[in-house]
Structure 1
């Protein structure tokens, strides 16, 4: 018994260390992907979408707050890939770590479910996890260069807004997709595979046309996004939103299509407006549809149980025992109902 307990005690720190290193590796890898497409706004290097914030929030929701050192470690190596260590590096790392930790604490306070099956979960992720919590990272990340006279005062708000929106977009686009992958069952069931294939083909043809067309027809992607949310809920809408955001970001940083002939600030504003609209539409619409379908299934089950009870009472028999509650109604790892 002593040997078994000792082995378990050794495995727990080792398992925690592996999780921390995995979070750091995923954060760094997402950072390298995000840095492939970046813009210079008022002398500050920003990314239209910063995927590591989405990775960090999803990791803390799934693995727990104890994995926060992995975020700090991943952010450290991400900064090193851009420049040499500076005296204020600790401040930047604090902001990058505190933002997702604050996001998870606020989401837990709001009883957030990681399956995003309710409208309140989508609203909580938008306003608490993305828009509110990411203020911390932007404030520390842009405020430090301002205090060290590395950023002129007139450029503060433009750089701060770009940093904040990039972090928020990372949460809105990446976090739902990672939570979906965590809860997915493998191998996936071939449900409506013909329609899914048709949706994929249409998306691969329409989205590049809308983003690279000089006629400014980005609005053409929204019927596609609605189709994906109506038929495939979060799985379809999240993947479509990711494809749209990636292609729009590539076109914007290349100055092609609808973004041709615009200044850096105009490109960033137009791109972030598009990314924000697609992410919000995908997340909130899929949450509303999922909630309505779950409510309809609950009503149908209740009606079926009522019919069975009435049939047994009419026949003079004792009603059958009620079945166990549905496991789908149980809270996810991120909160309680």
Structure 2
């Protein structure tokens, strides 16, 4: 019996690792659809596998890290032979989300992102700081092996770091919210959700494809989604903005038409970062405010019930007991 239980747990652990590897590889293939070649290095402005890896670690724990390494190996293998520099890149891409997970666990991160501190922790401890590891390892190894000239180091490093960080800020919240999303029951909410979707698509296309400098048009949509639907609405809108903006920057159309590759990447990541911060922080702030209000309303309701019980107890008539009748004094009338 003990051997059967141990074998079952081993098979379950292996299946989880393989599932994480498959998800990482699928995300990598999708991310490579928007790749940029910088002095011989292939980088992406948005690298979904990093966000997928961190979400899997938050769901399943640290034991699935071999799946991240295996998925990274498969992605690099699909680009060419897995040389020693590729193994170093795999190590960096594995270590970065693992460090992000450990930092988030250290500060008591909650996957629901219902507190402002959770959103801030995901931005800095989950995205910006740990992704320095993968960007430095990747760009440094390419430079050390002569695969990239010195002139392209900082552009490659910046794009690599920003792509990994945006993978966390865009993909991880979306996966976390999808795992606990619930369909709205109110017809009005359905109508507003449809109106948001119908508005977000053309506005984002116009902002990212128009020759005019109207990228700021995406922010009213993100604010609307965050205020009314919190992370369940702002996360998909953020993904839409990031994907369409990346495509416009790579194709050098719209507001990115007259910019060099470096200028386009800087403007793109500035837009993506600002949009992600707006979506995450505002959604978490609204969610936290609503949660506090619900707690206050519940406390007021409980207090009102206590007051009603006390008032009823005071106003209830007190009849003398039949077993203990009141004593009567006998007065001498003589």
TM-score, length-normalised on structure 2? 0.91
| CA shift for structure 1 position 255 | 1.2
Q: Does 1:214 align with 2:214?
A: no
Which ranges of structure 2 fall in alignment gaps of 5 or more residues?
Answer: 315-334
Q: Does 1:31 align with 2:28?
A: yes
For residue 267 of structure 2, give the secondary structure of its aligned residue in structure 1. Answer: helix
Q: Tell me if the contact between 1:42 and 1:158 (Cα under 8 Å) persists in the aligned partners.
A: no
Q: Does 1:225 align with 2:226?
A: no
| CA shift for structure 1 position 90 | 2.1
| CA shift for structure 1 position 152 | 2.0
Bigger mean CA offset, 21-30 vs 41-50: 41-50
The equivalent residue for 2:124 is 127
- Pick one of 165, 182, 185 that aligns with 1:190: 185
Q: Matched residues in 2 for 1:307 and 1:238: separation?
A: 39
Q: Tell me if the contact between 1:91 and 1:140 (Cα under 8 Å) persists in the aligned partners.
A: yes
Q: Tell me if the contact between 1:177 and 1:239 (Cα under 8 Å) persists in the aligned partners.
A: yes
Q: Tell me if the contact between 2:181 and 2:232 (Cα under 8 Å) persists in the aligned partners.
A: no
Q: Deviations over 1:183-215 (max 9, x none)?
A: 224xx2334001111111111221111110001
TM-score, length-normalised on structure 1? 0.90
| CA shift for structure 1 position 154 | 2.9
Q: Matched residues in 2 for 1:23 and 1:290: separation?
A: 30
Q: Deviations over 1:136-186 (max 9, x none)?
A: 10111111111112222232222111110110000000000001111224x
The equivalent residue for 2:319 is none
Measured on the aligned residues, the alpha-carbon RMSD in Å equals 1.2
Higher RCO (C-alpha 8 Å, min separation 6): 1
The equivalent residue for 2:16 is 19
Q: Tell me if the contact between 1:40 and 1:264 (Cα under 8 Å) persists in the aligned partners.
A: no
After the TM superposition, which residues 35-54 of structure 1 pair with which residues of structure 2 at under 5 Å, given as runs?
35-54=32-51
- Pick one of 82, 87, 109 that aligns with 1:90: 87
After the TM superposition, which residues 270-309 of structure 1 pair with which residues of structure 2 at under 5 Å, given as runs?
270-309=267-306
Q: Tell me if the contact between 2:45 and 2:159 (Cα under 8 Å) persists in the aligned partners.
A: yes
Q: Tell me if the contact between 1:206 and 1:221 (Cα under 8 Å) persists in the aligned partners.
A: yes
Q: Matched residues in 2 for 1:8 and 1:55: separation?
A: 29
Which ranges of structure 1 fall in alignment gaps of 5 or more residues?
Answer: 318-337
| CA shift for structure 1 position 42 | 3.5
Q: Matched residues in 1 for 2:109 and 2:229: separation?
A: 22
Bigger Rg, structure 1 or 2: 2
Q: Deviations over 1:107-149 (max 9, x none)?
A: 0001000000000000000000000111110111111111112
